[in-house]
Amino acid sequence: MSQFNSGAPGVTRRGLFQTAALAGAAGLAGRLTSATEAASLPNAAAGRLNQSVCRWCYGSTSLEDLCKAAKDMGLVGIDLQTPADFPTLKKYGLVCTMTSSHPLADGLCDEKFHANCLKLIHEAIDATAKEGWKNVIVLSGNARGIDRQTGMNNCVKALKEVMPAAEKAGVTVQMELLNSKVDHADYMCDNSPWGIELVKRVGSDNFKLLYDIYHMQIMEGDVIRTIEKNHQYFGHYHTGGNPGRHEIDELQELNYKAIAKAIADIGFKGYYAHEFIPVRDPLTSLREAVTICTV
């Protein structure tokens, strides 16, 4: 989740390739130029992953239009929505694959934000459970001088307060792993070992990590091996091309076809949400990403 970063670096470079062919990882002969070509591409429903898309990346596209496109592409839902958006999603037979809760920087590692965070998390759990949906996001927030051990203890304290409600509601609370090098300076939960230790200490099947592939490529790399070794701790995935957090095509360093296959091969049944900032036609880029990850 990174709505505070425009992702502007790389836009000019990518603009030069608007008509370039997708390479092997994309599995497409060339960029889409017509509705007929788009209709001929694989539908996400034909693959093994439950694909979704993050709303905030498509600010120029109305939620109605994004829902229509998502349904047409075989996506199961929209990520990072609030209860006010639920009626529109339901109108198109989609689910909220991850419900938003509290602010990003003012998170659980700092006790002074606990009262507000816990209130918003409980509200998100209740709203999500009412619809029969499954996921609520939480965030460590920024350290602001708090050491990692104290921050861990503070997160555990807050999460153990909300887990009984989450367990009763059948909702999974998920803390997102974000990079602190490029997009979110001072964010505490910025690496998978710290996050995995947090999951172990909370000790609930209803608490997992949202593994953001883009963010963890920046922080630690070795994405596929990390996922295969630790998949039991990861309940949700986000995509994004690195560098720049743009399209997940051949113009960036990650092989998303291989990553998607690895996640599918471990038997992942949660949601795999696209969270990149398109620099070409947004819905064309989304369809290309869906095609890459339909494995």
Output the pLDDT for position 68.
98
How many Å apart are CA 77 and CA 131, to the nearest integer? Answer: 13
pLDDT, averaged across the chain: 90
Q: How far apart are CA 81 and CA 192, in angstroms?
A: 25
Local structure of 115: helix, strand or coil: helix
For 108, the 3-state DSSP assignment is coil
**Nearby residues of 112 by Cβ (< 8 Å), 6 or more positions away:** none
Domains of the chain: 11-293 (3.20.20.150)
- What is the three-class DSSP state of 239? strand
Residue 234 bridge partners (DSSP): 209
pLDDT above 90 as % of the chain: 86
Per the CB < 8 A criterion, the answer to whether 241 and 278 are in contact is no
> pLDDT per residue over 284-295, tens digit each?
999 999 999 999
- Kindly report the pTM of this predicted structure: 0.88
- Over residues 238-271, the pLDDT tens digits come to 999 999 999 999 999 999 999 999 999 999 999 9
pLDDT per residue as tens digits for the range 154-194: 999 999 999 999 999 999 999 999 999 999 999 999 999 99
What are 82-94's pLDDT values in tens digits? 999 999 999 999 9
Q: Token pair of 173, please?
A: 């609370």
Of 295, 252, 261, the closest CA to residue 23 belongs to 252
